[in-house]
Amino acid sequence: MAVEVCVKAAVGHPDTLGDCPFSQRVLLTLQEKKVPYEMKLIDVSNKPDWFLKINPEGKVPVFNGGDGKWIADSDVIVQVIEEKYPTPPLVTPPEYASVGSKIFSTFVTFLKSKDSNDGSEQALLTELQALEEHLKAHGPYINGQNVSAVDLSLAPKLYHLTVALDHFKGWKIPENLTNVHAYVKALFSRESFEKTKAAKEHVIAGWAPKVNA
């Protein structure tokens, strides 16, 4: 049996790859390891019965390594892929594993914020500044010269950040964070990223109801 991954389809476009950063993280991992896989697109607003049977919680991504056993949760999935396909190794050293881990949550808070004085922008800038300092000391990637798991987790989140904040707030990562800019450019230009990213309009459509709530 082939490796199969269930991922989010684009909102209103059930046949197009959607905007789930956790789904993309799994796809990036498979691409970087050159593991062939079959992608199943799930319309999250109308989940098929077969999908709910294998995954009653109904969340994406879900992964089947070819043994018929379905696994949910991107953290668990990428670990399973790493164990099953150790080459090239993508393990991030434990001391670097949490670098950038608060960027996504601070981005979401700022994106949804209606009050420019609530500190949400500064909270995001603080996290991006911390990433800048890390990359300055250890870059170009979080663990030096080679991409590792933490980069593949951050790349989709940084993509959502750049697309959504530019669209909804006209906000961009400050130019003086030169290492972050170089990092984002390096990640987004990888072949694995080009092959697995959602179109910008689908990222925007995915965030619109949350921003306008």
| Model pLDDT for residues 183-203, shown as the tens digit of each residue | 999 999 999 999 999 999 999
**For the chain, domain boundaries:** 4-84, 94-212
- Interval 16-45: pLDDT, tens: 999 999 999 999 999 999 999 999 999 999
pTM over 0.85: yes
On average, the pLDDT of the chain sits at 97
Topology match between the domains 4-84 and 94-212: no
Alpha carbon distances (Å) from 194 to 127, 151, 155:
26, 15, 11
Q: What percent of the chain has pLDDT over 70?
A: 100
Q: Which CATH class is domain 4-84?
A: alpha beta
**Other C-beta atoms lying within 10 Å of the C-beta of residue 99:** 19
Q: ∠ at Cα 213 (199, 117), nearest 5°?
A: 100
Q: Kindly tell me if the per-residue pLDDT of 1 is higher than 80.
A: no
Backbone angles phi, psi at 14, to 5 degrees: -65, -15
Question: What pLDDT score does 116 carry?
Answer: 92
Pair of tokens at residue 173: 């990562």
CB proximity list for 26: less than 8 A, separation 6 or greater: 5, 7, 61, 63, 74, 77, 78, 81
- Interval 63-104: pLDDT, tens: 999 999 999 999 999 999 999 999 999 999 999 999 999 999
- Residues tagged active-site: 20
Q: Kindly tell me if the per-residue pLDDT of 213 is higher than 90.
A: no
Q: Domain 94-212 classified CATH 1.20.1050.10?
A: yes
Q: Kindly tell me if the per-residue pLDDT of 167 is higher than 90.
A: yes
